[in-house]
Structures are given as C-alpha cells and as structure tokens.
Structure 1
C-alpha cells in the first residue's frame, strides 16, 4: 500500500514508518525537521526506515516541508492510500511559551491533511491525539465520558485536532480514527523527556532530577504497543469515526520511575528535586476498554519491563543518541 506518515522522521512517526517499511509497503514521510532536539536522531531514523524499505521490497520517500503549506500537503497525499498523521508541535511547556505557534502547526496543519485526504479519497486517516486533552482528572482512569478540560495550549490544540478528525468523518464520510496516546516511550524517543533525562543522568553518574515532588503519575506506553495498533488500522475499519485511548497496563508516579531507572543503573545515586513546571498534568491513566472492544487492543509491556528494555537499548546506542556523549 501507499502510506504517508506525517512527522515520520520523529519518534512515534518514525517507528510507524519503520514498521510499515519492514512489511514491504511504499512509505512516504513528511517532516519539517524542526530542531526541537538534535536532528541527528531524526537523520538516524530516516536511515533506518530507508534501509528497511530496501530490504523488504518497498520504497521510501522523504518530503521535507511544513504542514501549513496546504499545496505541498495536497501534492504529498495525491496518490496515498492511508495517512498516519503523527506530526505536531510537541511539548507542553513549549506551548505555554508560544501558544499561537502550536495552534498553527497542530490545528491548521491537521485541517490541511484532512482536506487533502478528503479531496483525494484516502482510505483512512489515523491521527495522533494525546492524553493532554483531559487536563485535571475528576477521576481515574480517564474514560470516554471524562470531561476534556486541557491545562495547556498543547492540550487544547490536540483536542481541536481530534475533533476536526471526528467531524471530517461525520460530515464528509472520510474514514478517520483518532488515538489518544498516553506518554509514549522507547528507542529514539525525544531526549528532553523525563524518562531519557533520568537514564542519561544516571549513566553519567548524576542524580536523576525530578520537577516537583514526584507524586505526579503517568501512564507510560511502550512504543511497540503504539506501532502494533497503528499497523492494524492500515486495513481494519472497526474504529472508523472513533476517538479512543491508547495506554499501557498501569500508571506509575514519577518518583518511583526515577527510582526504577536509578536502581537499574546505579543504586547509590540520590534523587534530586527542582521546581515544578507550568502546564504539566498532575496525573494520567488510560481506560483502554474502548480500544479493546473495537480493536482487541491489549498493551504488552509494563513500565518496569519497558524501562529495562529502554535502558538496554540506550546503552547500546549511547554514542549517537545521548546528548552528553554527542556534545562532548
């Protein structure tokens, strides 16, 4: 199949592109290469995906551009069967500083993707949303009935993104699915995340540093589970028109996560604390019953197993991935 992955040089989009390339599909990646973090990581992802396509009989094309360029987006989608819209201006804290920017990329960019997909009769558009749409929890886990009251411009932009996705299905009949990801982690993840910071600091003999008191909880989802459900939606129409949570087996508080990482690498290190940051949700936890009912989705990796796998991968790829090593 002809598949387009927006944000396909990034973390989640790159894993989806690699998975589809390994299955022999013809993959086109659309990415702006914003230097939000070291672009060498994206370059590595592109190389991995291109090699996968060459080895498995598919093709790989890279388009560098911005989703706000409606004409370029339409040209990219013209001959595509399925679109995985993973591109976004990421970062809750960055969105607090630049709310107009996050709206332009995430909302306007999504409308451009949906319009082009509608015009060219794309078979399905799978859109990445976020647990950030929920905001402050009235109860946990978050289910489909929970209010969506985001506490950051990023969360607002993702809520608009998924609602436009739903509306394009209801009004225009465009097959769409919106997936609310819950804190995805794994190989090639952004190096400025708490998870990667903990690992990097511990590997270099520095104490893991927590923003706030560490009582915040997160539902960390291993990227392999994300890849699997996205690949299923390449041909499965069971969830068309739906918005659903994609989470893990449980949630964990940040202090415990830091301890798990520390104990795996260097149990002698002390945990350090610094000021909390604006815009971060206090707690997340996904009710995945809808995804289970419609798609049979079941997460397979719990946080402790995933942490061990990620640390092992990190050690093996530290030379090109770790910011302290690259910049030394």
Structure 2
C-alpha cells in the first residue's frame, strides 16, 4: 500500500512510518522539521526508516515541507492510498504564547489535507487528535460523548481540526477516523516530557521535579499501542466517520509516576516540587470501550511495564538521546 504520513519524522508519525516500512508498504513522509524540540531526534528517526527500506522492506521517501503548503499537500495526497495526518504544532504550554500558529498549522493544515483527499479516491484519512479536546472533566474516565471544552489554544485547535475531519466524512463521504491520543510515551519521545525528564534526572543523580502537588493524573499510552491502533485502520473500516479514544486506562498521578521512576533508577533521591503551569490539564483518563468494540484495541502494557521498557531503551541509547533531553 502507498501511505503518506504527515509529520512522519516526529515521535508518533516516525513510529508509524517505521512500522509501515517494516511491513513492506511504500511510505512517503512529509515533515517540516520545526525546531519545537531538537530535530536531531527526527534525523535519527529518518535514519531508522531509511535503513529498513534499504534492507529490502518497504520503500521510504522523505519530503521536507509543510502541511500549510496546500499545493504540495495536494500533490502528495494524489499519489497515495492512505493518509495518516500526524503533523501538528504540539505543546499545551507554548500554545498560550502563540495561539495563531496553532490554528494555522493544526486547523488550516488539516483542511489542506482534507481538501486534497476529497479530490481523490483515497481509502482513508486517519487524523491524530488529542485528549486535550476534553478540557475539565465532568466525569472520568472520558468517553467520546463527554463534553469537549478545551482549556488551551492547543486543545481548541485540535478540536476544531477534528470537527472538520468528521464534517468532511459526513458531507463529502470521505473515509476518516479521528484518534484521540492520551499522553503517548516511549522511545524517541519528545525530550521535554515528564517521563523523559524524570528518567534523565534520576540517571544523572538529580531529583525529579514535579510541577504542582503531583495529584494531577494522566493516562499514559505506550507508543506501540498507538501504532497498533493506527495499523488496524489499514484493513478495518468499522471506525470510518468515528472519533475514538486511544489510551491505556491505566491512570496514574504524577507524584506516583515520579516515585516509580525514581525507585527503578535512583531510589536514594528525593522528589522536588515546582509551581504548576496553569494550562496543564488536571486529570486525563480514557474509556477505550469504543475502540475495543470497533477495532479490538487493547493496551499491551501497564504504565509501570512501559516505563521499565523506556528506561531500558534510554540506557541503550543514552549516548545520543540524553544530551538532547538535557538541552531541552
């Protein structure tokens, strides 16, 4: 199959590209190498995918460009069977400083993908949405009918894009699926995330820093589970036109997470606390029953198992990954 992955040198998009190439598919990646975090991580991802292709699996082509370039997007979409639209401006906290950029990339960029797709006989467009669309919980866990009241410009931009994805499915009969990711983590994750920071500090004998009192909870989702859910959509149309939560259901508070990592890596360290960021969500917790019913989605790892795997990966890749975490 011919697959376009926008944002395909990034964390989630890169793992999707890697999986698809390893399965023998022909993959085109569109990425603008935005320096939101150190682009050397993206360079490493590209190298991994290219090596897979060189070893005789699927093909891999990198196109450096932007989803805001409608002409380029149309040209690339016209040549593939599936589009995995992972490109987006990430980061809840930075979105408070520059909300217009988040609208331009996340909303206008998504419209470019959708407009290009409805001009073709595309099999499916899969959109990367976010648990940030929910905002303040009225109840937990979140199911897909929970009110969507995002509390950050980032969340608002992802919700607007998601609504366009669903509207295009309804109005233009375009096969689309929107996956609401819940705090994805794993190898090659963004270096400024809580888990990578906790691990790095502990490995270097520095106490992990918790923002706020640590009672905030998160539904952390291991990257391989996210990739499995996306891959299922290559062959399963049961979720067309739908929005699905992709989480772990294994909710954990941030203080317990910090303690878990500390206990695995450097049990002698204390936990430090700093002021919480206002735009951060208080709680996230996914009800994944809809994804389970439609796709057979089942998380494969608890947070403790996933963290242990990440710590092992971190140790094995410390020479190139750790400097980027420390610089973030």
- If the length of structure 2 is used for normalisation, what is the TM-score? 0.98
Deviation at 1:323, TM superposition (A): 2.6
Match of 2:73 in 1: 73
Partners of 1:89 and 1:144 lie apart in 2 by 23
Count of residue correspondences: 327
Flag the 1:65–1:267 CA change in 2: closer, same or farther, 3 A.
same
SS of aligned partner of 1:267 = coil
Partner of residue 111, structure 2 = 111
TM alignment of 1:249-328, pairs within 5 A: 249-323=249-323
Aligned residues of 1:249 and 1:301 also touching (Cα < 8 A): no
Question: What residue number does 1:93 align with?
Answer: 93
Cα shift at 1:121: 1.9
In 2, the alpha carbon distance for the partners of 1:197 and 1:115 equals 39
C-alpha displacement of 1:29:
0.3
Please tell me whether the aligned partners of residues 200 and 326 of structure 2 are also in contact (alpha carbons under 8 angstroms): no
State the secondary structure of the residue aligned to 1:3: strand
The reply on whether 1:83 has 2:67 as its aligned counterpart is no
- C-alpha distance 325-16 of structure 1, shift in aligned 2 (>3 A): closer
My pick for the range that moved more, 316-325 or 155-164, is 316-325
Q: Is the 8 A contact 1:7 1:88 kept in 2?
A: yes
Contact persistence 2:196–2:325 (CA under 8 A): no
Separation of aligned partners in 1, 2:7 and 2:104 = 15
Give per-residue Cα distances to partners, 1:41-74, cap 9 Å, x unaligned.
0000000011112224321110111111100111
CA drift of 1:324 comes to 6.1
Which residue number corresponds to residue 208 of structure 2?
Answer: 208
Q: Using the alignment, how far apart are the partners of 1:54 and 1:287 within structure 2?
A: 40
> Unaligned stretches of 5+ in structure 2?
none
Deviation string, structure 1 residues 73-108 (Cα, Å, up to 9, x no partner)? 111111110000001000000101100010100000
CA contact (8 A) 1:13 1:86 kept: yes
- Structure 1: which 5+ runs fail to align? none
CA distance in 1, matches of 2:182, 2:315: 25
CA contact under 8 A between 1:180 and 1:243: conserved in structure 2? yes
In 1, the alpha carbon distance for the partners of 2:325 and 2:168 equals: 46
Aligned to 2:232: 232
* Corresponding residue of 1:223: 223
1:154 alignment partner in structure 2? 154
